[in-house]
């Protein structure tokens, strides 16, 4: 019998190498390696110490030692927001873990993919009020997509893999993995990839075709439509698809605070930012529309004003990957659950078909909106007290840096000015704390963004109040060669609170003066503080010094730069729709106040 016709000889099954036996701590680090994590932010302590030992020898994961765990959380957020990759923060038990809570809540509100790994006391001590014990799983349950408590070494790879899956899919958000110290110290076979079992977690990405058709029909027959774009457009990486749909429809576009950069500011269809401090055309376009197509937005109170009076004549198409958001605030006539990027592709195709069967005509609408743009351009009133105009400072930062830069803002007046006066042309260029409104976000978020995007210029645009909450992370930046630029918009006060006190509390400025910037009393002196941290630090008090200072910062890349811009405390954020009133307030003020220019209360 020839060899080629010889019966096959069964081969013994291939030997599978036995799973290596690792400690739980080693399993944490190995899991991060295999998930492709390259950077983490953290601060060690007793309950997480076992993890830090193998982390020291790992060649793939760079650990950046922060000066406060809140800084680790915000840095991981900035890393994620600038890159689209999941950010990672590590902390110990008790106060280490609770110091992460603000950043976790921030990430939850703004849909930032974040994994926080915390140490926990020995499982045998849990519930005994042991040293540095805190029920961080219970504490964070309302502000995470999920929280894991891991008590055995063999469960660690699966928990970490599942955490990354949950954080980065569906509507992104934070996930906590709390690991007891005995689980970190015990040994178990390391099995990878682990089996991930997430019963009930099935994010819907593909929208229902009939809903897409209904939305397209409304768009094709509307007379006054608006594309209301929220942060979901950034998180789903849908900017290119959004531009295609917008240009196909010819409808006006507004981008919320969380969506700045999702649609180019320079595009002729862009009306600007809506809401409390939005442009007059953007606010009135929503308010007077007959169709709102909400794309990854959630109708939050800062956009709607009094929700019951918002856009009273508009039908609503609401697209969101999170079904809990749809009809939560405003009932949707056409609800669409799905990944925005995929929905936009389908909606574009359906609209083109519907448009061929209908006469799409938005000309009267655009005549009205262009009139608003001409009548109420975004602007500001120069200061009269001899101090700098903060709007001018921020505008020049944006103009000299350009659209390829990354801009992280704290919370308050400077945040709104940065959203208004910097031109955003691309997604992931604007980072801020939108939902939670967290003071202290800017410096660590900028630090994280620079780690994620080392070739981009990264600015932290901060207020003097915010800066004092997390400026210790400048030490982290200096030691780790993270050359961010920090612009302190120093009005020597808690500016947004002061503005409200001026407008709504008869000018009674209770406990909003910080004594940081004016005259000879500077507590602290931000220039000396920056120099103490090893930064290049300068102060700017005259308008003719602004450009040179910004250019010096742009030219300095061997260390962080801190610029103390001493600005007027009387500058206010305009326009402003007072909290709790209808957006028709803008219409009323325009029609009944001849001097109304969009910059008056």
Q: Is 576 a catalytic residue?
A: no
Annotated catalytic residue: which of 276, 416, 496, 572? 496
Q: Tell me how many degrees the CA angle 159-162-164 measures, rounded to the nearest 5.
A: 110
Annotated catalytic residue: which of 41, 69, 310, 468? 69
Q: Is 306 a catalytic residue?
A: no
Q: Are 518 and 525 in contact (CB under 8 A)?
A: no
Q: What are phi and psi of 576, to 5 degrees?
A: -150, 120
> 233-261 b/e with 16+ CB inside 10 Å = b?
bbbbebbebbbebbebbebbbbbbbbbbb
Looking at residue 141, the DSSP 8-state letter turns out to be G
Annotated catalytic residue: which of 26, 77, 120, 181? 181
Separation CA 446–CA 415 (nearest Å): 14
Annotated catalytic residue: which of 131, 357, 399, 505? 131
Q: Is 181 a catalytic residue?
A: yes
Of 348, 359, 342, 350, nearest to 243 by C-alpha is 348
Question: Collapsing DSSP states into helix, strand and coil, what is residue 159?
Answer: helix
Q: Are 148 and 198 in contact (CB under 8 A)?
A: no
Separation CA 421–CA 567 (nearest Å): 16
Separation CA 511–CA 493 (nearest Å): 9
Q: Is 132 a catalytic residue?
A: yes
Q: Tell me how many degrees the CA angle 251-256-257 measures, rounded to the nearest 5.
A: 155
Q: Which residues contact 199 (CB under 8 A, 6 or more apart)?
A: none
Q: Are 543 and 567 in contact (CB under 8 A)?
A: no
Annotated catalytic residue: which of 122, 126, 132, 545? 132
Q: Which residues contact 80 (CB under 8 A, 6 or more apart)?
A: 86, 87, 107, 112, 113, 114, 172, 448, 452
Q: Is 496 a catalytic residue?
A: yes
Catalytic residue positions?
69, 131-132, 181, 496
């Amino acid at each position: 019998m020839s060899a080629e016709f010889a019966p096959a000889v069964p081969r013994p099954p291939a030997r599978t190498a036995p799973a290596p036996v690792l400690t739980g701590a080693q399993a944490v680090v190995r899991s991060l390696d295999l998930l492709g994590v390259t950077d983490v932010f953290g601060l060690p302590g007793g309950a997480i110490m076992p993890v830090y030992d193998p982390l020291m020898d790992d060649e793939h994961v760079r650990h950046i030692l922060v000066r406060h765990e809140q800084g680790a959380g915000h840095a991981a957020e900035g890393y994620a927001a600038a890159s689209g990759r999941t950010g990672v923060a590590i902390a110990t038990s008790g106060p280490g873990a609770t110091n992460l809570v603000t950043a976790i809540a921030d990430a939850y509100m703004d849909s930032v993919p974040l994994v926080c790994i915390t140490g926990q006391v020995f499982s045998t001590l849990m519930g005994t009020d042991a040293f540095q014990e805190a029920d961080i799983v219970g504490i964070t349950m309302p502000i995470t997509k999920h929280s894991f408590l891991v008590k055995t070494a063999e469960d660690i790879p699966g928990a970490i893999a599942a955490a990354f899956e949950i954080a980065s899919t569906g509507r992104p958000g934070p996930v906590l993995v709390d690991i007891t110290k005995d689980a970190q110290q015990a040994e178990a076979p390391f099995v990878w990839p682990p089996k991930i079992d997430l019963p009930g977690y099935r994010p819907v990405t593909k929208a229902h075709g009939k809903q897409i058709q209904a939305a397209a029909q409304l768009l094709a027959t509307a007379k006054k439509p608006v594309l209301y774009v929220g942060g979901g457009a950034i998180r789903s990486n849908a900017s290119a698809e959004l531009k295609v749909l917008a240009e196909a429809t010819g409808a006006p576009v507004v981008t919320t605070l969380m969506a700045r950069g999702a649609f180019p500011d320079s595009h002729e269809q862009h009306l600007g930012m809506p809401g409390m401090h939005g442009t007059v055309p953007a606010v009135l376009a929503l308010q007077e529309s007959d169709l709102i197509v909400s794309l990854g937005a959630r109708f939050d109170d800062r956009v709607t004003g009094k929700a019951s009076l918002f856009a009273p004549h508009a039908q609503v198409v609401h697209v969101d990957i999170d079904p809990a958001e749809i009809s939560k605030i405003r009932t949707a006539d056409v609800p669409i659950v799905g990944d925005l990027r995929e929905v936009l592709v389908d909606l574009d195709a359906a609209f083109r078909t519907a448009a061929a069967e209908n006469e799409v005509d938005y000309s009267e609408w655009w005549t009205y909106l262009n009139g608003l743009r001409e009548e109420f351009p975004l602007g500001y009133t120069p200061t009269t007290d001899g101090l700098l105009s903060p709007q001018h400072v921020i505008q020049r930062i944006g103009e000299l840096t350009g659209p390829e830069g990354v801009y992280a803002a704290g919370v308050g007046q400077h945040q709104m000015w940065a959203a208004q006066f910097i031109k955003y042309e691309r997604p992931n260029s604007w980072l801020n704390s939108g939902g939670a409104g967290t003071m202290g976000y800017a410096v660590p978020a900028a630090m994280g963004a620079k780690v994620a995007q080392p070739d981009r210029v990264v600015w932290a645009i901060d207020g003097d109040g915010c800066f004092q909450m997390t400026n210790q992370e400048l030490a982290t930046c200096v030691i780790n060669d993270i050359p961010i630029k920090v612009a302190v918009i120093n009005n020597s006060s808690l500016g947004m609170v002061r503005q409200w006190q001026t407008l709504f509390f008869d000018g009674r400025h209770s406990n909003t003066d910080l004594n940081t910037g004016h005259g000879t009393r500077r507590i602290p002196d931000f220039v000396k503080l920056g120099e103490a941290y090893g930064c290049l630090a300068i102060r700017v008090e005259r308008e003719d010094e602004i450009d040179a200072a910004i250019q010096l910062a742009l030219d300095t890349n061997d260390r962080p730069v801190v610029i103390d811009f001493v600005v007027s405390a009387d500058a206010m954020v305009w326009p402003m729709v007072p909290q709790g009133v209808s957006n028709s307030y803008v219409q009323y003020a325009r029609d009944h106040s001849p001097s109304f220019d969009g910059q008056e209360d």
